[in-house]
């Protein structure tokens, strides 16, 4: 009798652990270095967990090498069903400035992987400011501009693309899951778009300067 009770208790514990993983993934990405216990459950139960999410139109993506897992709702699920399905995973609509920051972080992560031996990439608020300032127009109010950049950093932190270090509000870890959201191809496409924008801006400034000189003459 005790053996049956023990088996039942073990089964209940396993189900509770699995439920904890399901809930965690529905809330956001699961990271090995943050939740090792849940990560082990995920790897052990990944096939049944994957099947569960497939039944509700979600794909489970696991990168064991990088140590993260997250859910994705394929667009094809709506196309195959012929109707709009409820969004269980929200779409992120990024501004140009947010995209610019993510591309900068993704590039820095690639450089870190090729040059450094430490697995974690830590960047400072000052570094991020230095990356972004050349792409923003010069303004007379430098304090206001830095506040806007800080607001941009905070937004990316809230979206999970930066992680503020405890007791170090000006230091951030760049999560490796960023590699899944910003690919090398997307970086190339964004660089081309950025070059076009800068070229248009440069031509506009040149025209304005020439027009001003003509009026002065």
In whole angstroms, give the CA distance from residue 63 to residue 161.
17
Q: Are residues 113 and 166 in the same domain?
A: yes
Is 46 within a domain? Answer: yes
pTM for the full model? 0.70
CATH, residue 49: 1.10.10
Is 197 within a domain? Answer: no
Q: Are residues 34 and 107 in the same domain?
A: no
Give 10-residue mean pLDDT values along the chain (217 residues). Answer: 50 89 92 93 96 92 93 66 52 81 92 83 95 82 89 92 93 92 84 80 47 40
Q: Are residues 74 and 42 in the same domain?
A: yes
Structural domains counted in the chain:
2
Find the domain containing 149 and state its range: 96-182
CATH, residue 161: 1.10.10.2260
Q: Are residues 127 and 170 in the same domain?
A: yes
Q: Are residues 70 and 125 in the same domain?
A: no
In whole angstroms, give the CA distance from residue 24 to residue 18.
10
Q: What pLDDT, on the 0 to 100 scale, is given for residue 36? A: 94
């Amino acid at each position: 009798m005790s053996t049956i009770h023990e088996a039942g208790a073990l089964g209940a514990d396993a189900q509770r652990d699995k439920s904890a993983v399901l809930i965690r993934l529905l809330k956001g990405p699961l990271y090995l270095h943050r939740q090792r216990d849940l990560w082990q459950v995920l790897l052990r139960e990944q096939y049944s967990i994957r099947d569960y999410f497939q039944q509700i139109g979600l794909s489970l993506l696991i990168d064991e090498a990088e140590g993260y897992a997250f859910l994705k709702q394929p667009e094809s699920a709506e196309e195959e069903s012929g109707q709009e399905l409820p969004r269980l995973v929200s779409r992120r609509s990024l501004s140009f400035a947010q995209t610019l920051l993510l591309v900068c972080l993704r590039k820095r992560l690639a450089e870190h992987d090729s040059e450094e031996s430490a697995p974690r990439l830590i960047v400072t608020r000052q570094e991020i400011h230095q990356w972004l300032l050349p792409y923003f127009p010069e303004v007379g109010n430098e304090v206001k501009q830095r506040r806007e950049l800080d607001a941009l950093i905070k937004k990316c932190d809230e979206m999970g693309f930066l992680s503020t270090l405890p007791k170090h509000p000006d230091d951030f870890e760049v999560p490796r899951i960023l590699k899944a959201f910003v690919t090398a191809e997307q970086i190339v496409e964004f660089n081309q778009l950025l070059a076009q924008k800068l070229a248009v801006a440069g031509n506009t400034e040149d025209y304005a300067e020439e027009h001003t000189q003509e009026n002065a003459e």
